[in-house]
Amino acid sequence: MCGIVGYIGSQQAYPILINGLKRLEYRGYDSAGIALVDNQKPNIYKIKGKVSDLENFIGNNSKAGTIGIGHTRWATHGVPNDINAHPHKSMNGKFIIIHNGIIENFSVLKQKLIKRGYSFKSETDTEVLADLIEYIYEFGHVSATDAVRFALSKVQGAYGLAVLCTEEPDKLIAARKSSPLVIGIGENEYFIASDATPFIEYTDKVVYLDNENLAVLTTEGISIKTIKNDEVNPEVQKIDFDFDEIEKGGFKHFMLKEIFEQPKSLNDTMRGRIDLAHHTITLGGLMGVMPRIMNARRIIIVGCGTSWHAGLMGEYLFEEYARIPVEVEYASEFRYRDPIINSEDVVIAISQSGETADTLAAIQVAKQKGALVLGICNVVGSSISRETDAGVYTHAGPEIGVASTKAFTAQVLVLAMMALFIGRAKYNIKPEHYQELIDELISVPEKIEEVLKTSESVEKLAELYKNSPNFIYLGRGCYYPIALEGALKLKEISYIHAIGYPAAEMKHGPIALIDDKMPVVVIAAQDKGYDKIVNNIQEVKARKGIIIAIVNTGDVVISKMADHVLEVPKYKTAIGALITAIPLQLLSYYIAVLRGCNVDQPRNLAKSVTVE
């Protein structure tokens, strides 16, 4: 939800900001803007559309300035247009700000400012904050930094903020609450951004700003205090980042690159955690909390979107191998109930970005009630990874495509490793079976490699059904979450209406939708529900529905009944079932491309949802 970037130093800020915005565009792409301070004077450029539109708009205008801020927006308050685009200037022009988050009490603050003579150009909550800062600065006769601090003490909501003051043009003020903000430390130069990607070629030293902290950056140094004005000793951390990971690497889209990266990313997820010689799993991140996990009365998994689907897979894996009852909840629902949780519960929060506002809020609820809270995150150093008591990183590498692919498979693999690790520690899994399960885990990347070789046949199938207005996805048992994920992928990037259903539930409603134009994707790989899924396919065929079946190689039964089959290699357990997600990712991708959709930046979506 909005990406912010800032620079102060001796280099020209423009190239850093514009390239930084391109890397942050996954966070929103409704409008973009930049403010540059040159010879103490600001220049602001902003426009509806993408960062490339901003570049064209700026054209040959002055790009000079060694201090600057930039923003790419996912609209919350006010439609995407040039006026609502950030940066926003305060009424008397003394403050220029960019903001990621929501100021919840903005209308109360706005009314108060109107009474004091302020008028507003945009519909945004951010402009209100700019004016509030200016009002305090002018009438309180305080420094720009104090004005920002006092203003933030009046604000309810979330913010990742960067502020320039035209009367103190040699400094950049940054603050955060709930929205992410990381500071890059160079030699007499500093960067701020929503994540570290805008500045990784300049420095690997970072400070993750804590909640309700405010930083003042000048070329002389950096000072961090809390909003209450207490001194903070910043912890400088080193980040390990491979530049190639954020490039397309010859692929047409990030999504395709990320689908094809899965054999590697899953090996990275397992690296250092599975001892091949001794056939054991060790999850270092959980060691300190194992007694509590072993004694857990219940596990509650929370997440949003694709991460919630991974959680549903986790339910099958944990109940089968760890034999602990599991509930899976949308983080957004969980936080607004009064859930009955206590210190015997373990809550697992799953999040690719580690910044999803609803998931963060669910963590707060669980912590307040005394549960042990674990995180499964992809982004190292993200808010969720810092807020949780312990956890396991997915290490899938940066995921740029808005539709999640490699993060999903990595999340499921981590859940599988956790389930086996805990199951073995609880003596629920016999040693021979444990070895077999670990072998299956290790073989997943290789099997995915095999599936990826079939991408051309998936593309041909996409050509046949690219114009279907609706799709149904069916699966039983652990294939049900995969059906949900397949349907989500399709609707997210191709805008085709798709529903995922447990196959047996089809007869209680969705069967009414089936006719000779309805493609029904059935995950029909071999497991204990195989005979039942054969029946469900018959039911669809009896109503002339079109069956696209995902089957194991060599399947002769379903292959004869289905209109189309996509094969995946054989496996023995629910761990291998993960592989069936790959043809569904490819199918969505090719359908969306054939429909001319912007696969990496689907309309209305953002990758990291830092608002409620």
List residues binding ligand G6P (CB under 6 A): 304-307, 351-353, 356, 359, 402-404, 605, 607-609
Least distance between ligand G6P and beta carbon 605 (Å): 5
- The token pair at 506 is 């089809």
Least distance between ligand G6P and beta carbon 608 (Å): 6
Q: Which is nearer to ligand G6P, 310 or 518 (CB)?
A: 310
- 191 beta partners: 7, 184
Q: What sign results for the dihedral spanned by CA atoms 244, 250, 252, 256?
A: negative
Residue 6's Cβ-side half-sphere holds a number of Cα atoms within 13 Å equal to 33
Rounded CA separation 92/98 (Å): 17
Q: Which is nearer to ligand G6P, 265 or 573 (CB)?
A: 265
- Our answer to whether residue 2 is catalytic in this structure is yes
Q: Which is nearer to ligand G6P, 6 or 314 (CB)?
A: 314
Least distance between ligand G6P and beta carbon 370 (Å): 24
- Our answer to whether residue 478 is catalytic in this structure is no
Q: Which is nearer to ligand G6P, 308 or 465 (CB)?
A: 308
Output the CA–CA distances (angstroms, integers) from residue 67 to 15, 64, 169, 607, in the order listed.
Answer: 12, 9, 8, 28
Residue written as tokens 């949900």? 484
- Please enumerate, as own/partner, the contacts of 505-510 that have beta carbons within 8 Å and a separation of 24 or more: 506/472, 506/474, 506/536, 506/539, 506/540, 507/539, 510/472
- The token pair at 507 is 């007869």
Least distance between ligand G6P and beta carbon 506 (Å): 25
Q: Which is nearer to ligand G6P, 126 or 353 (CB)?
A: 353
Residue (of 35, 31, 29, 30) closest to 5 by Cα position: 35
- 32 beta partners: 47, 72
Contacts of 380 (CB under 8 A, 6+ apart): 239, 393
- The token pair at 341 is 């949780």
Least distance between ligand G6P and beta carbon 257 (Å): 16
Cis previous bond, 87, omega within 30: yes
Q: Which is nearer to ligand G6P, 66 or 100 (CB)?
A: 100
Nearest residue to ligand G6P on Cβ basis: 305
* Strand-pair category, 519-523 with 326-330: unpaired
Q: Which is nearer to ligand G6P, 396 or 568 (CB)?
A: 396
Q: Which is nearer to ligand G6P, 368 or 604 (CB)?
A: 604
Least distance between ligand G6P and beta carbon 382 (Å): 9
Least distance between ligand G6P and beta carbon 359 (Å): 5
Are the C-beta atoms of residues 377 and 297 closer than 8 Å to each other?
no
Strand order in the sheet with 546-552: 497-502, 470-475, 519-523, 546-552, 564-568
Residues present in the chain in total: 612
Least distance between ligand G6P and beta carbon 612 (Å): 12
Crossing angle between the packed helical segments 262-270 and 431-452, to the nearest 10 degrees = 160
Q: Which is catalytic among the residues 2, 165, 304, 597?
A: 2
Task: Give the chain's end-to-end CA distance (angstroms, integer).
Answer: 10
Contacts of 264 (CB under 8 A, 6+ apart): 445
**Which sequence positions are flagged as catalytic?**
2, 607
